[in-house]
């Protein structure tokens, strides 16, 4: 369930009318690891397994190729509110020792990060040997938009889509939170054992440092955003070897990092 109908009063040119409006669902999900509370995320229900898989991968808690088991501990109105992840303790990554506080908000990339060192990301710089054209980017966005069903209904959700080097759509997910949508796409590809094919990450909103770090951890060298990029996102993209593009709409785009990846058309 990704949308619900709510009643409202719409005012147009000083005239008002009672309407039924479609809104995107935002609901809390508590994630437990081996029956211990780990974090709470505000998300749009559906694809919870993909969300958890992608989140734990990005947080360096579980990077094993074997998928873990989960159990739904609690539901409200058929929506899971507590999900327990079962991972052998010897397979937990070092990120588990740096637990987030039990309040993480989907629109805040640094929520729960208590120290500056917690936002550091380790790893070798990505190297992209192939170039691509600006025309390809716009075509991929057109395809992505055709699958944004929740947004078409509600106007209130974000989307993330991943394409391969042949510009073929691998996965697309929607959520109330930008970071959640990215986690869902990465988690989906992890579950399918096809993350290695990811080459482009397209997002429907702005790009913060955390989306860049999630792409870097997933080894996705190109990020394309409809909206703005933060200063830290650009700094991280330059450091990590990621081509970062913002304001991609109406035949326009702005390249902020590693422009050598792209040829203008």
**Residues that are catalytic:** 108
Question: What is the C-alpha separation between 7 and 9, in angstroms, rounded?
Answer: 7
Instruction: Report residue 163 as tokens.
Output: 């394409």
The verdict on whether residue 89 carries a ligand-binding annotation is: no
The verdict on whether residue 3 carries a ligand-binding annotation is: no
The verdict on whether residue 36 carries a ligand-binding annotation is: no
The verdict on whether residue 247 carries a ligand-binding annotation is: yes
Question: What is the C-alpha separation between 116 and 207, in angstroms, rounded?
Answer: 20
**Strand order of the sheet with strand 169-175?**
169-175, 158-163, 200-203, 222-225, 243-249, 252-257
In this structure, how many other beta carbons lie within 10 angstroms of the beta carbon of residue 72? 11
C-beta of residue 257 within 8 angstroms of C-beta of residue 221? no
3-state secondary structure of 185: helix
The verdict on whether residue 210 carries a ligand-binding annotation is: no
Distance (Å) of CA 157 to CA 41, 71, 130, 174, 212: 15, 27, 32, 6, 20
- 197's CB contacts (< 8 A; 6+ apart) are 164, 165, 170, 189
The verdict on whether residue 252 carries a ligand-binding annotation is: yes
Annotated binding site: 247-252
């Amino acid at each position: 369930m990704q949308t619900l109908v709510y009643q409202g009063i719409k005012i147009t040119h000083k005239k008002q009318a009672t309407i039924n409006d479609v809104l995107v669902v935002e609901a809390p999900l508590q994630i437990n690891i081996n029956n211990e509370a780990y974090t709470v995320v505000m998300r749009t229900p559906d694809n919870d397994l993909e969300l958890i898989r992608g989140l734990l991968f990005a947080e360096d808690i579980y990077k094993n190729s074997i998928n873990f088991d989960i159990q739904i501990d609690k539901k409200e109105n058929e929506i899971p509110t507590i999900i327990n992840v079962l991972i052998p303790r010897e397979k937990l990554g070092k990120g588990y020792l740096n637990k987030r506080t039990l309040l993480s908000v989907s629109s805040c990339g640094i929520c729960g990060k208590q120290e500056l060192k917690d936002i550091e990301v380790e790893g070798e710089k990505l190297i992209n040997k192939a170039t691509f054209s600006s025309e390809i980017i716009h075509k991929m966005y057109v395809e992505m938009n055709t699958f944004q069903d929740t947004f078409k209904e509600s106007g209130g959700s974000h989307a993330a889509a991943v394409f391969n080097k042949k510009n073929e759509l691998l996965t697309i997910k929607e959520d109330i939170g930008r970071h959640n949508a990215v986690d869902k796409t990465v988690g989906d590809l992890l579950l399918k054992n096809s993350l290695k094919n990811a080459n482009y990450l397209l997002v429907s909103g702005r790009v913060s440092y955390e989306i860049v770090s999630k792409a870097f951890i997933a080894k996705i060298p190109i990020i394309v955003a409809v909206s703005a990029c933060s200063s830290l996102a650009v700094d991280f993209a330059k450091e990590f070897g990621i081509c970062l593009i913002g304001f991609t709409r109406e035949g326009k785009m702005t390249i902020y990092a590693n422009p050598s990846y792209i040829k203008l058309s």
